[in-house]
Amino acid sequence: MSWSKLKQQLESFLSPALAGRVEYRATGYRYLPDKAGLCYISVDKKNILNMSDKTSSIRWYQTEQEIKNDANIQILISDEELEAVRKDTEGTVPEDRLNVIARNRKISVLAKELLSAQAALSKSNFVATANKFLSTSIEESIESDDILLNILALVDRRVGKKRILNMAEIVKLKHPIVQYFYELRRST
């Protein structure tokens, strides 16, 4: 599918409140057919997501420690996770430390997933992911680990206000770029 046709389809799915504000852009190289060019998403004429640009205003994590030390990431611990830690430690750890241990375990797993998704995003082909978005259900895109699929789903008109508001807890565990587009959609 040509870029102009793909762009037209993606923009037809934009939420009415974001139409004109969110744009999908691409650069092409006419005389270099083997060079793919760059695709990016801009909001209010400002480049927000350029997959190969590390200088964007969105935080790109380099290590697992950066994610663990980021105060903006909130981790909720369930009773089942606390009980699992209690069972693993055989009751020898004080109750106040159980929460700390469970949080550290959970954030290690989430940090690895986040770095993996971020690495996949920087290597991904925007056009291929956009075509996948157009051919899959909106639920699959929202629940996906692919950051770009999450973004495309968040700005989609098929996702209503009620669903956006109910996603608050899920989005807290996603990459900051997904959180940015969630806040953008929520504010409109």
Instruction: Give residue 120's pLDDT band: very low, low, confident or very high (50, 70, 90).
Output: low
Indicate whether 60 pLDDT > 90. no
C-alpha span between 74 and 115 (Å, rounded): 17
Q: Which two tokens stand for residue 67?
A: 């994610």
- Average pLDDT of the segment spanning 16-36: 72
pLDDT at 136: 92
pLDDT score of 121? 63
* Residue 15 main-chain phi, psi, to 5 deg: -60, 140
The full DSSP string for 102-156 is HHHHHHHHHHHHHHHHHHHHHH--HHHHHHHHHHS-HHHHHH-S-HHHHHHHHTB
Distance CA 117, CA 6 (A): 24
What's the average model confidence in pLDDT over 45-59?
66
> What is the chain's mean pLDDT, rounded?
81
Amino acid 29: pLDDT: 57
| Percent of the chain whose predicted confidence (pLDDT) is above 70 | 85
What residue has token string 């700005």? 155
The pLDDT assigned to 31 comes to: 56
> 150 or 93: whose pLDDT is higher?
150
Give the pLDDT band of residue 105 (cuts 50, 70, 90).
confident
Strand partners, 156: 14
Q: What pLDDT shows up at residue 63?
A: 77
For the chain, give the percent of residues with pLDDT over 90: 20
Q: Say if residues 180 and 48 touch (Cβ distance below 8 Å).
A: yes
Indicate whether this model's pTM tops 0.75: no
Confidence of residue 93 (pLDDT cuts 50, 70, 90): confident
Q: Is the dihedral of CA 29, 31, 32, 36 positive or negative?
A: positive
